[in-house]
Structure 1
Amino acid sequence: MSVNEPQDNPDGYVGLDAAHAERLARERGWSTVRSLAPGAIITMEYRFGRLNFEVRDGRVARAWKG
């Protein structure tokens, strides 16, 4: 596991197919990739190295770190 968080812009995943986006994020060094349904109830703690995707109709609608 890398000590540095990937220097990757989450906005670049918006619009991608969710499965492809997850593979790409892992290739780019994200240790955890979490796909969530719109409106999902989640904890708000920040997790270093985690990338979150809100997925609608199989595509990433929103992406953010933590």
Structure 2
Amino acid sequence: MAPIPNPSAEPQDDPDAYVGLDSDGAERLARDRGWPAVRSLPPGAIITMEYRAGRLNFEVKDGRVARAWKG
């Protein structure tokens, strides 16, 4: 039987802390804080809704993070 995979580590970080930051700076900060995956999306982007541990999502409007969430 195959081993059960361990999910990616997820930093103890509040996604709301990124709202209002410029998108490039927010992505650098998230990676510095230990997020292994950071995804920037335009408003209304069509995305899959699976939860991926260790991923931080940004909705970026006019170059700034308008919303941030885990998964």
Distance 1:9 1:16 in 2: 14
Partner SS, residue 23 of structure 1: helix
Deviation at 1:5, TM superposition (A): 1.1
1:45 paired with 2:50, answer: yes
2:23 match: 18
User: Which of structures 1 and 2 has the bigger CA Rg?
Assistant: 2
Q: Aligned residues, how many?
A: 64
| Residues 12-48 of structure 1: per-residue CA shift (max 9 Å, x gap) | 0000000000000000000000000000000000001
Distance 1:21 1:58 in 2: 10
Give runs of ≥4 in structure 1 deviating > 2 Å.
Answer: none
Query: For the aligned residues, what is the CA RMSD?
Result: 0.8
1:61 match: 66
Give % identity. Answer: 80
Q: Name the TM-score, length of structure 1 as normaliser.
A: 0.94
Q: Name the TM-score, length of structure 2 as normaliser.
A: 0.88
Unaligned runs of 5+ in 2: 1-7
Partner SS, residue 40 of structure 1: coil
